[in-house]
Amino acid sequence: MTSVTTSKPDRVSRADREAARWVADQQSGLLDDAGSAHLDAWLQSAENAAAFERAQALWLEMGEAAVRPAPQTAPPPRRRRASPRDGRRSRAPLIATGVAAALAVAFVALDGPTRLRADAITRPGEQRTLTLADGSTVRLNTDSAVQVAYAPDRRTVRLLRGEAAFTVAPNPNRPFTVEAGGGSTTALGTRFIVRRDGVQTRVSVTEHAVRVASNPASVVVAQDQTSTYGPRQAPSVPVASSVGVGAWQDGWLVFDDQPLSAVVSEIGRYSTLPMTVIGRKARDRRVSGAFRIDQPDQTVTRLEQTLGLRSTHLLGGAVIVHD
């Protein structure tokens, strides 16, 4: 494979990006026992441990700058000869302000608003299973987040981003509803999957049925069917679900005669590195097969070799597949 390199020393490594997410989770109190175990395993690498230490130091430095009180107003000092330290002192408030601004930017970049709302969250490539108070379970796919809002007369889960599979404990007196993308999915049976993909939300039923409502129409989606909707778009007429719609729960991605662009986009959801295909001929190549979700980089390499394509790795780790 070809690669593009640069001599710039400020490249952000993959370990540093992952460390930033780990520290954000840790500082936000989002690490449960399973998450802590994953972190401990991740820290076994010396490179990861060093990146984690850097991320912690930066987080603490930015946090201290953000909460540091402003200096009290004081009388003008007696005139004296200027020293080199004066320049550094005069820049101190500006530096503190800049660091505080950097903290705010980092908060947004690390998806702080979602993290504050979420009861559970996953990183790219990570999956988690939650058992709710009523016995229902939520299987979070890669880079996903949910908020649980149970009440005595109803059970509500909000899919804040990504994808999740729901197995619902029956209780006709307490409906189970998933809110996502301006619409809702209410269980009429047991198992279904909800996925947010940009402004579109897709609901696929794997057992029994659900009612999907949006703007303000609703449809009943039966087993092995899928419906989509948008913020101002009524649910579509249910159609047969695509092959392998829930295979990710078993660690697989399954494609049946799909364009390479769609395949690489889906594989990229499980990687910390952006992936794309350029060139119409390459994008339109058809792909069928099953691929492991825990090997996104190796999967793209195998696709290149099978289809006779190449890839370029850009600064920062982005992968571009092309002719």
Question: Are 183 and 289 members of one domain?
Answer: no
Question: Are 227 and 282 members of one domain?
Answer: no
**More confident position, 18 or 178:** 178
Mean pLDDT, to the nearest integer, of 186-205? 95
CATH of the domain at 201: 2.60.120.1440
pLDDT at 81 over 80: no
Of 185, 212, 240, at which residue does a domain stop?
A: 240
**More confident position, 5 or 201:** 201
In a domain? residue 81: no
In a domain? residue 305: yes
The band of 112, judged by pLDDT with boundaries at 50, 70 and 90, is low
Question: Are 111 and 156 members of one domain?
Answer: no
Question: Are 142 and 217 members of one domain?
Answer: yes
Question: Are 207 and 261 members of one domain?
Answer: no
DSSP annotation of 43 reads: T
Percent of the chain residues past pLDDT 70, beyond the cut: 77
pLDDT of 267-304, one tens digit each? 999 998 889 999 999 999 999 999 999 989 889 989 99
Question: Are 232 and 127 members of one domain?
Answer: yes
**More confident position, 111 or 144:** 144
In a domain? residue 135: yes
pLDDT at 11 over 80: no
Range of the structural domain that residue 30 is part of: 12-70+86-115
User: Rounded distance, CA 226 to CA 10, Å?
Assistant: 45
**More confident position, 37 or 156:** 156
Cβ atoms within 10 A of the Cβ of 223, count?
A: 16
Question: Are 65 and 144 members of one domain?
Answer: no
Range in 35-44, 106-115, 148-157 with the lowest mean pLDDT: 106-115
Q: Terminal CA-to-CA distance of the chain, rounded, Å?
A: 12
* Rg, C-alpha atoms of the chain: 24
Q: Can you give the pTM of this predicted structure?
A: 0.69
Question: Are 227 and 257 members of one domain?
Answer: no
Of 94, 115, 136, at which residue does a domain stop?
A: 115
Alpha helices by DSSP H, 194-273: 260-268
Question: Are 92 and 183 members of one domain?
Answer: no
Domain count, the chain: 3
In a domain? residue 76: no
Strands (E), the chain: 2-3, 120-121, 128-131, 137-140, 145-151, 154-161, 163-167, 176-180, 183-187, 191-197, 200-207, 209-214, 217-222, 225-229, 239-240, 252-259, 275-277, 286-292, 310-313, 319-322
Range in 15-29, 40-54, 250-264 with the lowest mean pLDDT: 15-29
Strands (E), 38-175: 120-121, 128-131, 137-140, 145-151, 154-161, 163-167
Mean pLDDT, to the nearest integer, of 176-180? 97
In a domain? residue 130: yes
Question: Are 130 and 233 members of one domain?
Answer: yes
pLDDT at 151 over 50: yes
In a domain? residue 7: no
In a domain? residue 80: no
CATH of the domain at 281: 3.55.50.30
In a domain? residue 79: no
Half-sphere exposure of 212 (CA within 13 A, CB side): 30
Question: Are 207 and 159 members of one domain?
Answer: yes
User: Rounded distance, CA 205 to CA 238, Å?
Assistant: 10
Question: Are 228 and 130 members of one domain?
Answer: yes
